[in-house]
Structure 1
Amino acid sequence: MDLAVGVHPHRRHTLSRYLVALALAAAFLLSASTTATPAHADERLDAGEQAVVSADGDGLNLRSLPSLAGAILAEVPDGTVVTALGVQQRADGHCWERVTHDGQPGWMAAEYLVRLGGAIDEDADPCAEAASTEDQEDEEVPTPSPGDPGVLPVPPPGGWTVGLAGTSDIEALVEAQTFDVASVWMLDVATQDYDSYIVGAPAFVNEDGLPNLGPDSVVLMRRTGDKPGDLGEPAAAPADEAPRGVANVLPTPPADKFTIGVSGTNDPAVLAASQPFEVKLVAMLDVPSQTWLTYIPDAPDFAQRLARGQLREDSIVWLRAGAVFMIRRTASSTPTP
């Protein structure tokens, strides 16, 4: 977004009183837009506090990293309420606030967030105590805690499991499992590449590793060993189970590609209908049987293999996009930053 304030030229009028009236009106509008320009919250946001996106009507990007280089997970309109996670970091000339939006964690520029019900303070700096990439060369900055590693469901030998990492420390994540881990994989939704970490491999194999691994990352793990021949069938769906939970909005993938995340609901139809893009397929890995259970929107019942109740609120799901609905924006309505 262009941060400069632009004033449109007025037409000349032969009558001076109209010229004066127009000048006064322009001054009033300019003054009003200046005083209404949103600023960041009056002080840093603590975990659990809510803030409102206020970016001059242009909306704000939710990014995967605290940087302009971070992938855009969502374009969030002005007036949307987000929840702070209590973490700030300074980079690329912005103070970045770690937030969740519709269940999706990410980073937003803090100067466009206003504390819900709070005052606006033009001079406040919510990143005053946060790590700064510009200052790291000059002073030692405390390293944030990587988080507690998640313990994933145990797969059969040679099989796969999936869950939330809970940490940014790949070695701690591997060590926390109750089975021998062969490899760890993570989908980059923007590029559709799977980044990998091979346990026990030489350093050059894991040179890139999982650079974007974080507590909220979804990871796949493969267990060492050879997969048994018969693992049985997936558990049947409970009869007449009521809908539960609130569907999460997952990062939008490219057309005809996949995204991944936590369902938030036990109803695959509700999950598919809640996305801002057309969903062609909902897929879930049943870890004990190593079977893919799938739901296809608008397909007949006999074609469905993933039902309400088999899907749980905390299930990890893959969604395949059909059409991706892009919002047409003018130059003055580009989300910032």
Structure 2
Amino acid sequence: MRAATVAALLSLLLGLVFPIIPASAEGPDVAHEQSALIAAGRDPLPVGSIAVVRADGDCLRVRPAAGLSGTPLTCVASGSTATILPGTSDADGYRWQLVTASGFTGWVADVYLAAYGSPAPASGGATAGAVSPGPSAGTAACVSTVAPVRPGLNTTLSTTGLNLALWGGGTMNALETATESQGCTISAIYANRPNGAGLVSYLVGVPDFVNAEWQTAFAGGRIPGGTALMLICRASATQAVVSVPSPVPAAPAPRKIGLKPAPLVGAAAVAIVDGGSGELLYDKNATTPRPPASLTKIATAILAVEGTELSSGVTVDVDGQRMAALDGSSVMGLRPGDCYSMTDLLYGLMLPSGNDAAIAIARYEAGSEAAFVKQMNTLVHRLGLSGTTFTDPHGLGSPQHRSTAYDLAMMARYGMTLPQFREVVGAPLRTTSGSRNIALYNTNTLLQRYPGADGVKTGFTDEAGRTIVVSAVRNGHRVFVALLDDRYREDSAVALLDWVFQNYQW
């Protein structure tokens, strides 16, 4: 396709890149004129407060501008929460308020919002809770740091042919994961150059030098948020395709020089993987699927690092304190209405193993937990790992939520190639700088205990037992040890790391 033709099409059709919700499926924001008149006598909900969507069992449309004419950005389920942002307007017989809900920022008719903690109407939707924790001081400040475009692909793709999309920011790997999760395998991409000097193309499956202009235009491998893309898709060919580039083997696999067998440990499954070559050095039920607990968050963190603008402010609708009280969840400590950078949420995910942070990241990046889980499973498939099925972003999981020691070690190996991932999982502690200063401590005690340990994650549930993936470097050589269901996981990891460094030669 000639570049001039592509440029003309891209300019002409740019307005089509936002997700389309059929105009005929209108629902709450047009159907109840009497309710709108009643709402006119009520003060707007205060900025920074949390509201509950009361849409009579339907969903509430979030629009890019106040009024009924804008194409909805999303439709938020009745019973969900929304954070009130600065902005009120009257249009089309409704009062509209600016909100953040389910990872989207936009305008809603506030007749369908109720203060968080207020009693539900007799015939209304589900309530989100009985007591409001109150607004956070940083909510209004969060507005200035919200990314101009929501993360991911701001459209629903056709699985074949030409698609237009507005990219929310991230790496090429994140872009391919997002498209694959919608059934589109990219064959070519056209984008506006960041400096505005015309289009640049990227062809999939060709030598790097062919895409040299793309690599120059998007130095560092990240495509900025707000970049308009033309995607040429073909239907995903086979579930066997591996399309995420794994770390290139830096050296041959190490050879075993000692006769000493691996120490006996109580883990139900063990995998030891050489970081340089990806070779499996020791295997005890390494490919047997088991519940991974919070090791799930390795995949969650990879998607967040690759698929979001990490400096973006995120206003959350997750109540971590309530989660901890209900089921003893490990949490970062989020409250509805809190604003934190995506970087802070990553630390809250990986250091204290915050299940609330996992949900907040999933909703922000993909719009819903279900959509995010689809991307998690796409990532696993693209990495060529066949023993993993995720059903949630945190690991509390259903009986179908499973992974293997080998898969988890290989996910960690890929994650540790990403500088931001490495920085997060190697930090013993972090103090957030968002709505509140929260001190976050890393549950991976091997960072202080074992020389050379620099990541990655621990986990625990009653079903999974104690789990861990640890990375350690000695003499420039990195090794990953993954243990599932090991009561003495730290002691076992130390013994296995000592054994592999003493009995293998690089």
Give 1 or 2: higher helix fraction. 2
TM-score normalized by the length of structure 1: 0.37
TM-score normalized by the length of structure 2: 0.27
